[in-house]
Chains A and B, each alone.
Chain A
């Protein structure tokens, strides 16, 4: 069984530029999460999807961040414009239902210069 796939693995951009991250969850997993992991910290939830519906986006900075999960499968997280403080690892995770543990992708390491 393939795991959670994320791309790109690494991204370096200049501040004020846009950037997008892509996530393909494990097949059949209805729940998809995007997390932000700052250096030396644990993951913090940005947004959670149940199928194509964003059911928890309370921690998503909506002035610059957006996300979508079309057809309830793949998801894209976008930042526009990026700021220096956005440098971090962005993790995607999926789970088959609300009572199960999460399966994480390898993450995208973003560096904003």
Chain B
């Protein structure tokens, strides 16, 4: 089974500052990687995904993530956050040939004015 580790349960940051949310996974096989965002009382919404190709992936709302195979990481970044980015962010992984998703425990991003 895969495992996904999001080291930071909470990340406070001031508005317009840059932010990085960390995600590491364990897998001996090739995987697809995803970041989802969850606003209060809502379901998860896909931010971005890595399937293959360029290791730098751009998503919605100005977010991007970089796949690092050697470090088995897929960190999420945004150069300048807004108050509206306050939400919980989940990293997820699934194997190429097995349609089962494994989610991290989430990181709550709290953007302060």
Contact = CB atoms under 8 A, between A and B. Distances in A.
Interface string A78-107: 000000000000010100001101111111
B105 A41 contact: yes
A42 B101 CA distance: 11
Given A42-B90, A101-B34, A106 B42 contact: yes
A40 B88 CA distance: 10
B43 interface: yes
Interface residues of B, number: 20
B5 to A, nearest CB: 11
A14 interface: no
A48 B106 contact: no
B43 A107 contact: yes
B26 interface: no
Query: Range of interface residues on chain A?
Result: 20 to 34
Interface of B: 4, 9, 34, 36, 41-46, 49, 90, 92, 99-101, 103-106
Given A43-B90, A91-B43, A106-B42, 20 more contacts: A42-B90, A42-B103, A42-B105, A43-B44, A43-B103, A45-B100, A45-B101, A56-B100, A91-B44, A93-B43, A93-B44, A101-B34, A101-B46, A102-B44, A102-B46, A102-B101, A103-B46, A104-B45, A105-B43, A107-B43
